[in-house]
Structure 1
């Protein structure tokens, strides 16, 4: 027969056994939870923002008429929808909302011919890694590296007047090298939709 002392000792041992069993069960549950969370796979979100290699797509552009110049010599042409200029007058510059692409005009004219302006501009551009790609038909195409924006491409076109002896207006587009096809479309569209003063002697290419 067990004495009261032995009974108390057995009760203590039984309580410790139950405690160890409960602790082991908790550890097993925690291990299962950790294993479950470790096997969860998160699917990365797909960005719809154009990447650095995506070029300006000519087919995605729509155009609207814009007016500039002066009251005595008004000028108008079609520019891509959404491209805005903060200035008017004879030297507006239209930028897309991201600031990557631009279209600018200089309607002041010059006594130099388009070919002379091409040579003058090619020799005066002070940019890093300047490379002239083409300088034909009064149009200069070039690339360079901007310290902030990286590789850039520019196209400047001068329209002739007085049988080619002077330049009537300059049209320039700018962007990245991968935008060349789209920028060419913008430049050509601006050239073909250009409306000049009635007394202007317009001799545009094409």
Structure 2
């Protein structure tokens, strides 16, 4: 016959057994990491702290907020509006703004070119060496494409080349990048950056090519 002390000990051991079983189930669900039960699953970016609204189905265009960013040079300052909370990874004539999660980005190139937007679209298409490249469109000086990044998986890019002289030369390139499911948000960012772009016009400029 079990004494009250033995009965209490058995009940404690039974409780520990159940706890271990539950703990093991949590570990299995979360890939073996016992501390990741509340972490965001891979491939889904949490909007908390990122400043960029997102759901599992992609970047949300209708909730984006924008702030003006200045770049270029002191002699030729350029500005445009980019999503709020995105930080500049580099500045000058080729600034790149990246969201805190590293999933999305927008890049500008203000050096200009003597080539037309259509010529640069063709050149950009030829230059992409990523696996699984699929060109979705190449209209109006904008190249839209998808590919597979060996580390991040499926990606989407939209590169727009903007002319200030009826398509003879190119003044600015704007490229946005993310995932295929982010297409609506990426297009919204590209359009907003284009609409808010402010660049000085120099009739005697010396473009590199």
TM-score (norm 1): 0.76
CA-to-partner distance for each residue in 1:41-87, whole Å, 9 max, x for gaps?
78979747375252111123211111111122111011111111132
Identify if the C-alpha distance between structure 1 residues 64 and 166 changes in structure 2 by more than 3 Å, giving closer, same or farther: same
**Aligned-pair distance for 1:155?**
0.4
Q: Distance in 2 between matches of 1:71 and 1:170?
A: 19
The structure carrying a bigger helix percent of its residues is: 1
Q: Counterpart of 1:193?
A: 196
Residue 52 (1) aligns with residue 43 (2): yes
The alignment's C-alpha RMSD in Å is 2.4
Change (3 A) 1:117 1:186: same
Distance 1:37 1:165, change over 3 A: same
Return 173-182 or 81-90, whichever deviates more: 81-90
CA distance in 1, matches of 2:65, 2:144: 24
Match of 1:164, SS? Answer: coil
Q: Which runs of 5+ in 1 are unaligned?
A: 1-20, 201-206
| 1:141 partnered with 2:144 | yes
Matched residue, 2:206:
none
Q: Could you tell me which residue of structure 1 aligns to residue 9 of structure 2?
A: 30
Q: For residues 100-156 of structure 1, what are the alpha-carbon distances to aligned partners after superposition, in whole Å with 9 as ceiling and x for unaligned?
A: 111000011111111111111111101111111111111101111111111111000
Bigger CA radius of gyration: 1
Change (3 A) 1:166 1:73: same
Q: 1:30 to 1:50 in 2, by over 3 A?
A: closer
Quick check: 188-197 or 112-121, which moved more?
Answer: 112-121
Which residue is 2:177 aligned to?
A: 174
Question: Which position in structure 1 is the counterpart of 2:50?
Answer: none
- Quick check: 1:67 aligned with 2:70? yes
Shift of 1:162: 2.2
Partner of 2:128: 125
Unaligned runs of 5+ in 2: 27-35, 45-55, 204-209
SS in 2 for 1:59: helix
- Between the aligned partners of 1:99 and 1:193, the Cα distance in structure 2 is 24
Give the Cα–Cα distance (whole angstroms) in 1 for the partners of residues 176 and 89 of structure 2. Answer: 16
* Partner Cα separation in structure 2 for residue 146 and residue 109 of structure 1: 28
* TM-score normalised according to structure 2 size: 0.75
SS, match of residue 111 in structure 1: coil
